[in-house]
């Protein structure tokens, strides 16, 4: 596996503040929070196994006890939009090695998808994994040229992936796309993800 840094973007599990779209159909805020914890655990553990000694967790609460058992470096996300936070972290770390950002909404993501990123980032400025709702489940940034992909995007909208591609073309950034997957946002997504066997 080529050298690559991995940063998992993870919110502290606080009931009522995470996975709120799961609430309903028998899932209350506490249970939604528990699902968030389980999803985050799966994503972080898989990343740490795939890229030993290369994983950090970017968090919104450095003191939250959920993060302590991982024994991984913690980075403060800071404020602003998702793009602001990604860009700030990328600017701090991109000179060391290519940087892969993961969220915690795709616990069904396979190790082979992560390994595919590690290969593609050798020959591209960036790699992203589009998802069905118009965003992406990961993005790898190989160099400072590719930082443009994290700026001036309508984060949280269905236009994220389209805008990312447009910015890549306009800036001459070579962007590789993985196959389209999905994030877990709703109860239907959760059921679909569990059928893939990650629980």
6-10, 17-21, 22-26, 106-110: lowest mean pLDDT where?
22-26
How many helices and strands in the chain, by DSSP H and E?
5, 7
What pLDDT sits at residue 96?
82
Q: The tokens 């893939």 sit on which residue?
A: 196
pLDDT-based confidence at 197, cuts 50/70/90?
confident
Read off the tokens for 116: 């595919």
- Is the pLDDT at 4 greater than 80? The verdict is yes
pLDDT-based confidence at 3, cuts 50/70/90?
confident
State how far the alpha carbon of 95 is from the alpha carbons of 102, 141, 164, 189, in Å: 19, 11, 22, 36
Read off the tokens for 23: 């609430």
Could you report the per-residue pLDDT of 126-168, keeping only the tens digit for each? Answer: 999 999 999 999 999 999 999 999 998 999 899 999 999 999 9
Read off the tokens for 129: 């994994």
Read off the tokens for 132: 């069905």
Which of 79-112 are b and which e, b meaning 16 or more Cβ less than 10 Å from the residue's Cβ? eeebbebbbbbbeebbeeebbbbbbbbbbbbeee
Question: What is the length of the chain?
Answer: 199
Kindly report the pTM of this predicted structure: 0.95
Answer with the residue of higher pLDDT: 2 or 105: 105
Single out the residue of 120, 112, 132 nearest to residue 188, CA to CA: 132
Percent of the chain with pLDDT over 90: 91
CATH of domain 5-192: 3.90.550.10
pLDDT-based confidence at 199, cuts 50/70/90?
low
**Pairing of the two strands 136-141 and 126-130:** antiparallel
Cβ contact 40:46 at 8 Å: no
Average pLDDT, the chain: 94
**Pairing of the two strands 126-130 and 55-59:** unpaired
DSSP secondary structure string, 26-68?
TB-HHHHHHHHHHHHHHHHHHHHHHSTT-EEEEES-TT-GGGG
Helices (H), the chain: 29-50, 82-93, 111-120, 160-171, 187-195
Domain residue limits, the chain: 5-192
């Amino acid at each position: 596996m080529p050298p690559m840094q991995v940063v998992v973007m993870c919110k502290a599990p606080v009931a009522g503040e995470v996975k709120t779209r799961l609430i309903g159909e028998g899932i209350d805020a506490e249970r939604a929070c528990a699902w968030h914890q389980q999803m985050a655990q799966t994503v972080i553990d898989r990343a740490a196994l795939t890229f030993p000694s290369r994983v950090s967790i970017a968090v919104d609460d450095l003191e939250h006890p959920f993060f302590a058992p991982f024994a991984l470096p913690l980075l403060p996300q800071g404020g602003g939009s998702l793009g602001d936070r990604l860009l700030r972290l990328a600017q701090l770390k991109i000179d060391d090695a290519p940087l892969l950002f993961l969220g915690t909404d795709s616990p069904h993501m396979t190790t082979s998808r992560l390994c595919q990123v590690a290969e593609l980032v050798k020959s591209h400025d960036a790699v992203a994994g589009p998802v069905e709702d118009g965003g992406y489940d990961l993005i790898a940034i190989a160099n400072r040229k590719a930082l443009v992909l994290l700026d001036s995007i309508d984060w949280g909208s269905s236009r994220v992936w389209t805008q990312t591609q447009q910015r890549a073309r306009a800036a001459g950034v070579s962007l590789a796309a993985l196959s389209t997957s999905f994030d877990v946002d709703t109860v239907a997504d959760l059921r679909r993800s569990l059928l893939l066997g990650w629980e």
